[in-house]
Structure formats: structure tokens, C-alpha cells
Amino acid sequence: MKSKWPPCIVTYVDLIGMKHQAADAPLNSARMRTLHRTAQAVIMKMPAHEQLYCWNDSILLVAYCRLTDHLKMRTVLTELCQLIRKLEAIGPHYAITVKGLAFPTPELSPAITSGRCVVLKAASYAMSNCFQIEAAGKRLKRRPSWYIDSRLQGALAGHRLPTFKVKMLPEHSARKVLRADRKSIEAILIDSMAARAASASGARLEAKPDAVFPEWSIGSVAKEPAI
């Protein structure tokens, strides 16, 4: 029953160039571990997100959000912008954000209760579609730094962004994916906040970037020393 499948937004972030720099193992391990520590620091300031997973050169986040809750979607995107800002200091990377339904909460088993099995809360076709988009994106001549599922278009106040189509699971039906970057999404979210404020007050107000995206202090995240 789909009522037990909570609507979710899954975001996958991957560092670029790790395979091509495989010979430089100390540098690679340093970047990966710095990615993990930075993401772990930032997630504590991302209340709209339920869970963060870190492994090797990648991280995965999941947030629960109703299909029509555009305000919550904007909050999720705002938090992701803040995260990506921090990750930019680590090196080149790309992000993929997809909307879908998370799998139902699994029944408890001895393996789960003992801690020997971890079932990802991000488990979903949305998570699978992150990798569908990743594979399709590699065929683009100009790759964006952020791929966003068109199901999140409503949170972007009707702004148009370049798109391409990807066959999504489970039906293998084509769906548009937005080609964006952190700065373009920030600009749209700032404009959206200004428009909502104007609608509420009856006068055009200018949203200040610092009000929408205040600088997050996450303390000192030590970089991994070279081995």
C-alpha cells in the first residue's frame, strides 16, 4: 500500500576526479574524509533532512516532504545550497536531487536490532534514479554541477532552467531533469522569497541574500593529513 511509502527527497553528492587521480591515494583519502567530516558538521544545521550517509567519495541525504509542499521543498533546497557551499572548498563535485517515495519502514529483525544490518532510510526508486541521472549526465557535453528532478520545479517559482530527459525507474518513463548549479538555485530562492514577501505586504521588497543564506558556522573541520 503506497500510503506506507513516505514521500521523500533524496540527494546524492559525488566528488569528481577520484578515479583519474587513483595514483594519489593520500590526497584522495584526505578529500574523502574531509567530505565526510564537513557533511557531518553541516547536517546538524539541516533540520529538514532526516538522515545523512557517507562512504568513500560520496554522501547521500534524505528528507521527507509531501508531494505538494512547495514551502518544504524550498527549505530542503535552501539547506542543500548551504551544504554545497561548504563542499565547494573541498574540490569539484556534482549533486543530484530526486523526488519520490521512500520504501516502507522495514520490520525489525535480529540483524537490525543488533546493529549488524543498516537499512537506509533513503532506500527508494528516487535513490536509484540518482544513479540513472548520473549515468545519463555523463553523456552531456556540458555537465551541470547540480541535477534536479523536475518534480521540484514547483518549488522554484516557475523559473525556467535548461533540461534534458532521463528514463526513470520503476516504469522507465522519461522525465525532465533540470540542469543547474548552486548559484542559480540560490538566486531563484532569493527571488521567490522576495515575491512572497511582496505578496504579503503589498509592496515589492528586496530579499537580502544573507537573510536567505546566512553564513553557517560549523566550527573548524580539520583536513585529513596526507598519509
Region 191-210 average pLDDT = 66
pLDDT at 203 over 90: no
pLDDT at 208 over 70: no
Asked if 122 and 130 touch (Cβ cutoff 8 Å), the reply is no
Strand blocks (E) in 7-128: 7-15, 51-55, 58-64, 93-101
From residue 221, alpha-carbon distances to 54, 110, 136, 208 in Å are 16, 36, 34, 28
Rounded Cα distance, 105 and 167, in Å: 27
Asked if 78 and 84 touch (Cβ cutoff 8 Å), the reply is no
pLDDT at 118 over 50: yes
pLDDT at 105 over 90: yes
* Placement of cell 524550498 in the chain: 74
**At 21, is the pLDDT very low, low, confident or very high (cuts 50, 70, 90)?**
low
Region 140-163 average pLDDT = 92
Region 80-95 average pLDDT = 96
Q: Which domains does the chain have, with CATH numbers?
A: 2-110+119-212 (3.30.70.1230)
Burial of 35 (0-12, 13-18, 19+ CB in 10 A): buried
Closest CA to 13 of 62, 72, 70, 66: 62
Locate 130 and state its grid cell: 540518482
Asked if 179 and 147 touch (Cβ cutoff 8 Å), the reply is yes
Region 168-177 average pLDDT = 97
List, for residues 47-82, the tens digit of each pLDDT value. 999 999 999 999 999 999 998 899 999 999 999 999
Percent of the chain beyond pLDDT 70? 83
Locate 113 and state its grid cell: 536490532
Neighbours of 156 (CB within 10 A): 23
* Placement of cell 527549505 in the chain: 75
Closest CA to 81 of 8, 11, 31, 14: 11
Task: State the pTM of this model.
Answer: 0.89
pLDDT at 222 over 60: no
Closest CA to 165 of 126, 138, 185, 136: 136
pLDDT of res. 226 = 43
pLDDT of res. 1 = 45
**At 213, is the pLDDT very low, low, confident or very high (cuts 50, 70, 90)?**
low
